[in-house]
């Protein structure tokens, strides 16, 4: 018999560096989840993503047990990393902060394909390209 689901929690934590401090502690604590156990399991699974923001979807069951699914890092984080910029432009239509190639966008798209609302790699690359443009990052061939 399947366990009855109490709630689903979505968080973004730095890979390999989650702590019981906010936002993790309060989000899990209010549902009675063992915070230390989650932090240990999350850090073990994400030790190869040191410091990179990693979305996680936690399913909490009635008996206070939990499971979680790791998602790929946000496209904006990956684009900033490739373009070598600290943050996106405040005025993306006027001020460009960096540039990435279409090949780099395809690499990001292939990494995020499972999490995107796209059928193939070309459509996913267009989604990522739109994100880059909205950040003020120029896309070059």
CATH of the domain at 66: 3.30.1550.10
| Strands 98-101, 137-140: pairing kind | parallel
- The residue out of 70, 104, 122 marking a domain boundary is 70
Q: How confident is the model at residue 1 (pLDDT cuts 50, 70, 90)?
A: low
Domain end marker among 14, 49, 70: 70
Query: What CA–CA distance (Å, rounded) separates 137 from 129?
Result: 9
Q: Closest Cα partner for 56 from 11, 15, 6? A: 11
pLDDT in tens, 8-57: 989 888 888 888 888 888 888 888 888 888 888 988 888 887 778 888 89
Strand partners for 69: 57
Number of domains present in the structure of the chain: 2
The rounded distance, in Å, linking the Cα atoms of 80 and 55 is: 17
pLDDT tens digits along 64-82 = 888 988 888 888 888 888 8
pLDDT class of 128 with cuts at 50, 70, 90: confident
Q: Is residue 100 domain-shared with residue 114, that is, in the same domain?
A: yes
Instruction: Please state the rounded mean pLDDT for residues 94-120.
Output: 84
Total H helices, total E strands in the chain: 5, 5
Q: Which pTM does this prediction carry?
A: 0.74
CATH of the domain at 118: 1.10.10.250
In which domain, by residue range, is 45 found? 5-70
Q: What is the DSSP letter of 48?
A: G
Q: What is residue 57's predicted lDDT score, i.e. its pLDDT?
A: 92
Same domain, 96 and 62: no
Please list, in sequence order, all residues whose beta carbon lies within 8 angstroms of the beta carbon of residue 50, skipping any fewer than 6 positions away: 15, 16, 17
């Amino acid at each position: 018999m399947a366990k009855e689901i109490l709630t689903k929690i979505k968080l973004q934590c730095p890979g390999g560096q989650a702590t019981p401090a906010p936002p993790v502690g309060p989000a899990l604590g209010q549902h009675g989840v063992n915070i230390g156990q989650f932090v240990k399991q999350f850090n073990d699974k994400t030790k190869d993503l040191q410091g990179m923001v990693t979305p996680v979807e936690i399913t909490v069951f009635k008996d206070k047990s939990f499971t979680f699914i790791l998602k790929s890092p946000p496209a904006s984080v990956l684009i900033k990393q490739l373009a070598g910029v600290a943050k996106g432009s405040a005025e993306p239509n006027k001020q460009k902060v960096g540039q990435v190639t279409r090949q780099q966008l395809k690499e990001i798209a292939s990494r995020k394909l499972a999490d995107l609302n796209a059928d193939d790699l070309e459509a996913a690359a267009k989604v990522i390209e739109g994100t880059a443009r909205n950040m003020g990052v120029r896309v070059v061939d």
